[in-house]
Amino acid sequence: MRDFLKTSAIIARREFAAYFSTPLAAVFITIFVAATGAFAFFIGGFFERGQANLESFFIYHPWLYLFLVPAVAMRLWAEERKTGTIELLMTLPISPAEAIVGKFAAAWAFVGVALMLTFPMWITVNVLGSPDNGVILASYLGSFLVAGAFLAVGAFISALTKNQVIAFILSATACFLLVTSGMDIVQNTFRVWTPRIVSDAISSMSVLSHYDEITRGVVSLGSIVFFVSLIAFALFANAIAVTQKKSA
Amino acid sequence: MAALIETVGLQKTFGRIRAVDGISLSVEKGEVLGFLGPNGAGKSTTMKMITGFLEPDAGTARICGFDVLTNPKAAKSRLGYVPEGAPAYADMTPASFLSFIAEIRGYDGNDGRTRVTAAVAKAGLGGVLDQRIETLSKGFKRRVGIAQAILHDPQVLIMDEPTDGLDPNQKHHIRELIREMAAHKAIIVSTHILEEVEAVCTRAVVIDKGRIVADGTAEDLLRRAPNHGAVAVRVARDKAEALMKAMSALSSVIRVETADGADGTVHLRALPKGTAAPLEQVAELVRREQISVTEIYVERGKLDDVFRDITTSVQA
């Protein structure tokens, strides 16, 4: 176990540094911070609401993640396949699981850094009023979990192709389905021809409904289990994809 | 002692194409095995299976006695591998890349630094340590790949076309490096440059369509050349006729070929009856008849001819 964590940490460190050795980090962080702020102020009506909370800030996170997170995840495996470094990586004395966890952790930490850099929002709201900081903390956690779930799905899809553009489009689509599965537009298409249990099952897969719950300050075990198992499942699929598709 | 590299009936099929069809090999310490074959013969696929990157459909490979399928970590930690084109993380510098490899291979702190320094010195990377790998020349990129593979001083080294696309000086440097390490390791080098086999390999294995079609020293392969062991003599045109007749009559000569040279001389080639070159008899004949020849030598044959011969015979 210690070896596992140590090896994963070495891989994660290299991977994390790789984000910052290209303009990707600067571009991503700038856009993320600017976009979350802009949405909160101009679309969410942060000031007009006259409430000391960050609801108008957090509500748009899953939608922003829809296209920002696949951009972070797309390179994880597709690039290794494209440049041939996967052959190097997989012939080092490490297990595929160590590589997968390390890479995922690096990407998640990277998005975490971007998320932390939105702290001026938190300062602002605390200067202007006295918000419930517990709810804000829970919301940050929820946002981070959504990013993690999207990243894990994106990493899996990235392992299926050596083309980063394809990885991006497919992951964005998959994440879109995860966000909208609880909404009427998706639910209605299923309700008409499937038994109730199917549409309920699809609805329970909705990232959005769990996220809404957490951002209201309700961090239930169910929601945590939902996100953790979604991530675990995607990483497991990632492992299968990496070991099976090496040859192609 | 068991061989350091051992493969047993390796087999791999892609779609309907059988890329590797039952390759069994063993390579001992001190051997440098040249892995030859036309493009698409299955060289890279075989190496990918030996290094544990690809899973074979049947058969297995063992590195220092450790099975790459059932005990991959033990096998991989005793193995250095330079994949085709020596891929490396382009956005890293050789220094950061090599310390990453050292860490992964379990060398921490000082130990790691010593390893990196040694590998850098061996591969001759001193001047470019802090340049991004993507900005390096092909030769230096290749050296980074080799430094990465020898960092842990593995007992087994596998290199897929390490000199491909390099200039003659760079090729020379890499061959020197292989020769230096040869005594303590079992090395497999794939190549389609045949001179390389004579330059660095103690043994050559030729594969074609996924099967081994020849296995022996470079000398063994040369022996299969049509003109191996022939004695070539160059004489003035007016003497050629007589000498050719006399040579044909020698007991050790099966046949004499002639070719006109450009400078008014004729090139006679006496092909041997057995395997031994009929040099003595030809020399004796020339001396006795007092024919003045401008050149006399034993032909060794060309590996290219042998290679073409054994890898195209199936289609022909």
Q: Which residue has the higher pLDDT, B120 or A53?
A: B120
Q: Which three-class secondary structure state does DSSP give residue B7?
A: strand
- Report the C-alpha gap between B20 and B42 in whole angstroms: 5
Residues in chain A: 248
Whether residue B10 lies within 8 A of chain A, CB to CB, comes out as no
Residue A84, pLDDT > 50, answer yes
Please judge whether B54 and A247 are an interchain contact, meaning their C-beta atoms are less than 8 angstroms apart. Answer: yes
- Report the C-alpha gap between B16 and A91 in whole angstroms: 26
- Report the C-alpha gap between B176 and A168 in whole angstroms: 45
Q: Which residues of B touch A21 (CB under 8 A)?
A: 91-92
CB contact at 8 A, B132 and B163 = no
Residue A9, pLDDT > 90, answer yes
CB contact at 8 A, A56 and A45 = yes
Tell me the pairing of strands B186-190 and B32-36.
parallel
Whether residue B256 lies within 8 A of chain A, CB to CB, comes out as no
Identify the DSSP state of B2: -
- Report the C-alpha gap between B177 and B32 in whole angstroms: 12
Q: Which three-class secondary structure state does DSSP give residue B292?
A: coil
- Show which of residues 123-182 on chain B sit within 8 Å of chain A, judged by CB atoms: 148
CB contact at 8 A, B124 and B173 = yes
Mean pLDDT of B196-205: 89
**Location of structure tokens 């007092």:** B290
Whether residue B48 lies within 8 A of chain A, CB to CB, comes out as yes
Please judge whether A88 and B88 are an interchain contact, meaning their C-beta atoms are less than 8 angstroms apart. Answer: yes
Strand partners, B17: B14
Q: How confident is the model at residue B111 (pLDDT cuts 50, 70, 90)?
A: very high
Residue A91, pLDDT > 70, answer yes
Q: Which residue of A has its CA nearest to B87?
A: A85
User: B290-310: per-residue pLDDT in tens?
Assistant: 888 888 888 888 888 888 888
- Report the C-alpha gap between B300 and B255 in whole angstroms: 17
Give pLDDT, residue A190.
77
- Residues in contact with B220: Cβ distance below 8 Å, sequence separation at least 6, in sequence order: B204, B214
How many A×B Cβ pairs under 8 Å?
64
Question: CA-CA distances (angstroms) from residue A117 to A29, A112, B224?
Answer: 8, 9, 71
Torsion of CA A247, B94, A100, A152, to 10 degrees: -100
Whether residue B44 lies within 8 A of chain A, CB to CB, comes out as no
Mean pLDDT of A141-165: 95
For residue A77 the two structure tokens come to 């495996």
Mean pLDDT in chain A?
89
Whether residue B304 lies within 8 A of chain A, CB to CB, comes out as no
Please judge whether B54 and A21 are an interchain contact, meaning their C-beta atoms are less than 8 angstroms apart. Answer: no
Q: How confident is the model at residue A129 (pLDDT cuts 50, 70, 90)?
A: confident
Q: How confident is the model at residue B222 (pLDDT cuts 50, 70, 90)?
A: confident
Map out the domains of chain A as residue ranges.
2-247
Least confident of A95-104, B43-52, B289-298: B289-298
Strand partners, B235: B266, B293
Q: How far is B143 from chain A (nearest CA, A)?
A: 15
Please judge whether A93 and B103 are an interchain contact, meaning their C-beta atoms are less than 8 angstroms apart. Answer: no
Q: Which residue has the higher pLDDT, B270 or A86?
A: A86
- Report the C-alpha gap between B231 and B313 in whole angstroms: 26
φ/ψ of B58, rounded to 5, equals -150, 155
Please judge whether B54 and A91 are an interchain contact, meaning their C-beta atoms are less than 8 angstroms apart. Answer: no
Please judge whether A84 and B92 are an interchain contact, meaning their C-beta atoms are less than 8 angstroms apart. Answer: no
Tell me the pairing of strands B156-160 and B186-190.
parallel
Give pLDDT, residue A240.
92
Residue in B52, B88, B91 closest to A91 by CB: B52
Q: How far is A14 from chain B (nearest CA, A)?
A: 7
Q: Which residue of A has its CA nearest to B82?
A: A88
Q: Which residue has the higher pLDDT, B253 or B29?
A: B29
Residue B185, pLDDT > 60, answer yes
Q: How confident is the model at residue A88 (pLDDT cuts 50, 70, 90)?
A: very high
Give pLDDT, residue B81.
96
CB contact at 8 A, B219 and B251 = no
- Report the C-alpha gap between A179 and B259 in whole angstroms: 81
Report the Cα B51 to chain-centroid distance in Å: 18
Q: Which three-class secondary structure state does DSSP give residue A87?
A: helix
Q: Which residue has the higher pLDDT, B281 or A155?
A: A155
Give the closest residue to A108 by CA, choosing from A151, A79, A67.
A151
Residue B191, pLDDT > 90, answer no
Highest mean pLDDT among A11-15, A173-177, B261-265: A11-15
- Report the C-alpha gap between B97 and B217 in whole angstroms: 37
Q: Which residues of B touch A246 (CB under 8 A)?
A: 53-54
Q: How far is B77 from chain A (nearest CA, A)?
A: 5
In chain A, pLDDT over 90 holds for what percent of residues?
62
Give the closest residue to B255 by CA, choosing from B271, B276, B235.
B271
Q: Which residues of B touch A23 (CB under 8 A)?
A: none
Give pLDDT, residue B16.
87
Tell me the pairing of strands B293-298 and B231-236.
antiparallel
φ/ψ of A167, rounded to 5, equals -60, -40
Residue A36, pLDDT > 70, answer yes
DSSP one-letter string for B96-158:
HHHHHHHHHTT--HHHHHHHHHHHHHHHT-GGGTTS-GGGS-HHHHHHHHHHHHHTT--SEEE
User: B65-107: per-residue pLDDT in tens?
Assistant: 999 999 999 999 999 999 999 999 999 999 999 999 999 999 9
φ/ψ of B223, rounded to 5, equals -60, -20
Q: pTM of this prediction?
A: 0.87
Residue in B14, B84, B89 closest to A85 by CB: B89
CB contact at 8 A, B217 and B229 = no
Mean pLDDT of A202-213: 84
Residue in A7, A85, A92 closest to B76 by CB: A92
User: B146-156: per-residue pLDDT in tens?
Assistant: 999 999 999 99
Residue B33, pLDDT > 50, answer yes
Residue B316, pLDDT > 70, answer no
